[in-house]
Amino acid sequence: MLLTINMGNTRTHAVVYEKSHRSPHYATATVPRVEHYVQWLKAISLVAPTRILLASVVPQAASALAAATRELWGMAPELVKPRADLGIRFTTVDYEHELGADLFVNAVISHHDYGGNILNVDLGTASTFCVIKDGLYLGTSIVPGMELSIKAMIQGTALLKDFTLQKMDKVIQDNTTACLQSGIYFGYFELVRGMITRIQAEEGPLKVVLTGGIGTFLHDELAPYVDYFRPELTLEGLQLIARLLPRLE
């Protein structure tokens, strides 16, 4: 039984694979507390996994998760990091060491499944736009995510109140909450569409692969600009890596 875990800055996601069976998608907050993950993992699986693969961009929380898996099952996760034996090459050694594990995993599975020239668009806490050409990871552009932008705006203003994300039918609204919702909704859509268009202009035709929680929220609007929508791309990539490598050293 394989337990795959994608630990982002805000949320941690997991899926269990056993032969041809795939569990539901599980998610929890990313926090650096061992007991938090003990309770979460107990709810996910009553049986000890044979392997655990973890992609994390939060070292303290990853350490807490590893302590939880050792407490529950006497085993630590195999931590996925950029490496040269999974079909992805890098322009510099420094960038290989700097690249986030999630972006590397996304590159591995996108290259494996689609080949050629790829633009991975991952819309989460941060929004990342990553270009891979024939297995060469050229680079990334990063902007604050939609929810992070909302938090920054609310914290930096005296009169604006928090609000929930919502799809809107027109840009101009006539109450403060709706004005904020329309601005974020249409503004972020235009940001992502503009980034895809500009990157294509710089790099030539690219197969656009969309993922991430906000990617799911904006998928309908972004569909004309996206070739493949893979909401669980990183978890699927971890499963692929587990198939390709019997053990991560």
**Active-site residues: which are they?**
102
Q: What single letter denotes the amino acid at residue 118?
A: I
DSSP code of residue 86: S
Q: CB of 54 within 8 A of CB of 63? A: no
Long-range CB pairs of 204-207, under 8 A, 24+ apart, other chains included: 204/117, 205/117, 206/117, 206/118, 206/119, 206/131, 207/110, 207/114, 207/116, 207/117, 207/118, 207/119
Beta carbons within 8 Å of 54's beta carbon, 6+ residues apart: 5, 7, 62, 65, 66, 77, 78, 79, 80, 238
- Euclidean distance between CA atoms 111 and 115, whole angstroms: 4
- Euclidean distance between CA atoms 41 and 61, whole angstroms: 14
- Euclidean distance between CA atoms 132 and 112, whole angstroms: 11
Please state the separation of Cα 56 from the chain's center in Å.
10
- Euclidean distance between CA atoms 81 and 118, whole angstroms: 20
